[in-house]
Structure 1
């Protein structure tokens, strides 16, 4: 199925625990938890990010290029019930995401370097990734691992997430590796707040967030983890 990207606003902020508890308490009165959360109100996300021979995704982000893309494989709660190969697209101040499901066997083949499983003319995204792998040497680069607490609101199709305990797998690239012990990539006291919405952000949510007083940040989790990898392993970009 050929997916047409749906572009949305995305705002990111770095907040401390005091700000987190204050904002969350306000939001609980006007938003509901995402339906996918467990009893804790959270779920675990682990992604394997890919980049090409020239580390284009990394350098375009660091260079402030406004139109860019990233590819990643994503799982939830370290389970293989849902495995997606995703493309995240940035166009100015808007973001979009398209994705295609993978089976565990397809994932394992990719990990072995058997990228032929992506050569699927009936699935445009997988075929695009196959061409990137073949012509631009797109390869796994870094694991990004964190806990997400999400809230949603029908008005404006708003989704607000608190991403905690950002970790990276350093040189590991197997997201299902039972021996994987991700290490902290961000200060323990910092949480990433993301605000996504369609055409508008309801004023009552904007007031609850008090965005003007927060530290808006541009560094992506991918970049944070790549920088941590470089710092700790002398990786050369």
Structure 2
């Protein structure tokens, strides 16, 4: 597995009026993400790992440099493509490593059979296996939300609007579309990801100067409600 490329990530609290405005402006300069359903966005469901000391949660709350978190992720409740991802952040730059696992492998993992990761013979799976064994990482919390995403080629920019955030501690509900999830009301997040530079046209459209950059984490919000 090659070394992941780092990206800058800016997150902003916004309100519903901002969402409406951005949805009218962004299509003028950026194209809708290819995963969008009829151009209206898509559902994201993530299952985050943490240990008995809530290491990932506390590192996020305390703003620790060099922090990391593991998660499983699927889209639109489609279990035919499940990603295992590791997100890490160091010196303000975010990194992501990713691989795929099957629904059956995911089911075994949720049932506590984490040796399935060792069988994959994949670097990322082996890292999670090791940390599940020696750091007691375990599946902890589901975070589910609606995402509208736009991309702009220069600077490899990706802009997302996340809302209708919901959560559950029923980890086995990750693979079930009908799982009951607890809503986290009133939260709208604008996120801008880019490589070396952020084009002025995008900076202008999202009006970053008028919005407060935040260290908001959907996982942390789901854990402390």
Normalised by the length of structure 2, the TM-score is 0.96
Match of 2:40 in 1: 41
CA distance in 1, matches of 2:30, 2:183: 30
- Cα 1:13–1:120 shift into 2, 3 Å: same
Q: Secondary structure at the match of 2:94?
A: strand
Q: Root-mean-square deviation (CA), in Å? A: 1.3
SS at match of 1:155: coil
Q: Is 2:50 the counterpart of 1:54?
A: no
Task: Give the C-alpha shift of residue 178 in structure 1.
Answer: 4.4
Map 1:115-194 onto structure 2 (within 5 A). Answer: 115-120=114-119, 122-169=121-168, 171-174=169-172, 175-187=174-186, 190-194=187-191
1:110-137 deviation per Cα after TM superposition (whole angstroms, max 9, x unaligned): 0110111111473110000000010011
Q: CA deviation at 1:77?
A: 0.5
Partner of 1:211: 208
Pair 1:15 & 2:14 matched: yes
Shift in Å, 1:24: 2.5
2:224 aligned to which of 218, 227, 237: 227
Q: For residue 70 of structure 2, give the secondary structure of its aligned residue in structure 1.
A: strand
Flag the 1:215–1:186 CA change in 2: closer, same or farther, 3 A. farther
The 2-side partners of 1:121 and 1:142 are apart by 24
SS at 1:58 equivalent: helix
- Tell me the SS of whatever aligns to 1:113: coil
Unaligned runs of 5+ in 2: none
TM-score normalised by the chain length of structure 1: 0.91
Structure 1 residue 202 and structure 2 residue 199: aligned?
yes
How far apart are residue 197 of structure 1 and its match? 0.3
Q: Secondary structure at the match of 1:156?
A: coil
What are the Cα deviations for residues 12-68 of structure 1, in whole angstroms up to 9, with x where unaligned? 011111111222222211100011111142110000000023211111111111210
- 2: distance between equivalents of 1:64 and 1:218? 8
Structure 1 residues without counterparts, runs of 5 or longer: 229-237
Map 1:61-72 onto structure 2 (within 5 A). 61-72=60-71
Deviation at 1:186, TM superposition (A): 3.5
CA distance in 2, matches of 1:93, 1:22: 28
